[in-house]
C-alpha cells in the first residue's frame, strides 16, 4: 500500500532506528499521527534539542550540555581512576550503582575488523593523550562489554597502557546473582572461576 508522502517519510525515519523494522516503524508512525499535536511538537522539540543542545565532553567523550561535563568538572571525584566504557549510556548505568566515584572515558565503539573499525575509529587517542597529561591517574578500569569485540578492545588497551606503568584492570565477569550453575555456559563458568575472590 502506498502511504501519503509524510507518512512514508515518518515510517522511513523510524526504520533508521536500531532494531526497528517496517512493521514496528509503521505502527509507531500511525501512533504518532494519533498523538495530540502538542505532544508531537514536544517530541519533535526533544529530538531537535538532542542535536542542538548536546555536545561531547572534550575530556571524556560523554554527552553533555556543558564542556567539560559535570563528572570531569567535579573535584570530589576520585581523580586516580578512569573507567573506560563503550558508549555514553554505559556511564548512566554505572552512575546508578552509586559506588563508583572515579572518572570515565567513552570509546564510542569497539574494535571490529569485520566492520572495518580500527583503533583510529574509536576514542583511543584522546585517552592516551589524557593519561599522558594527567599524572594523578593511576588505574584504568576497562568496562567494555563481554563480546568478542569488547574483549579484543580490552586486550588492545591493556597492551597499550601497561608499559606506561599504569594499573590496568577489567570488570569481573561470571555467574549472575541468583543464577544456577547448571544453566551457565562454559565461558561464563570459566570467567567465574578465573575471577574468584578469597572469602
Domains, the chain, ranges and CATH?
A: 5-52 (1.10.8.420), 76-170 (3.40.1360.10)
Q: Which three cell numbers stand for residue 185?
A: 555456559
Q: Looking at residue 111, what is its pLDDT?
A: 95
Q: For all residues of the chain together, what is the average pLDDT?
A: 91
Radius of gyration in angstroms for the set of CA atoms belonging to the chain, rounded to a whole number: 21
All three cell numbers of 177, joined, read: 546473582
Confidence (pLDDT) at 191:
76
For residue 125, the model assigns a pLDDT of 94
Per-residue confidence band for 146, with pLDDT thresholds at 50, 70 and 90: confident
CB distance 60 to 103 below 8 Å: yes
pLDDT given at position 174:
76
Element spanning 102, H or E: strand 102-106
| Mean pLDDT to the nearest integer, 58-86 | 96
Alpha-carbon gap, residue 48 to 196, rounded angstroms = 47
Residue 63, SS3 per DSSP = strand
Mean pLDDT for 112-138 is: 93
Amino acid at each position: 500500500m502506498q502511504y501519503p508522502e509524510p507518512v512514508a517519510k515518518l515510517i522511513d525515519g523510524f526504520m533508521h532506528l536500531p532494531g526497528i523494522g517496517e512493521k514496528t516503524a509503521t505502527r509507531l508512525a500511525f501512533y504518532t499521527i494519533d498523538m495530540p499535536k502538542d505532544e508531537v511538537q514536544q517530541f519533535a522539540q526533544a529530538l531537535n534539542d538532542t542535536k542542538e543542545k548536546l555536545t561531547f565532553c572534550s575530556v571524556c567523550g560523554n554527552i553533555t550540555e556543558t564542556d567539560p561535563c559535570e563528572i570531569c568538572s567535579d573535584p570530589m571525584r576520585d581523580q586516580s581512576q578512569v573507567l573506560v566504557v563503550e558508549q555514553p549510556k554505559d556511564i548512566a548505568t554505572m552512575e546508578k550503582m552509586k559506588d563508583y566515584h572515579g572518572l570515565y572515558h567513552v570509546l564510542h565503539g569497539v574494535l571490529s575488523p569485520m566492520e572495518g573499525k580500527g583503533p583510529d575509529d574509536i576514542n583511543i587517542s584522546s585517552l592516551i593523550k589524557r593519561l599522558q597529561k594527567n599524572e594523578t591517574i593511576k588505574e584504568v578500569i576497562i568496562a567494555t562489554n563481554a563480546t568478542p569485540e569488547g574483549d579484543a578492545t580490552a586486550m588492545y588497551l591493556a597492551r597499550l597502557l601497561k608499559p606506561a606503568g599504569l594499573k590496568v584492570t577489567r570488570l569481573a565477569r561470571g555467574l549472575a546473582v541468583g543464577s544456577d550453575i547448571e544453566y551457565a555456559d562454559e565461558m561464563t563458568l570459566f570467567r567465574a572461576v578465573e575471577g574468584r575472590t578469597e572469602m
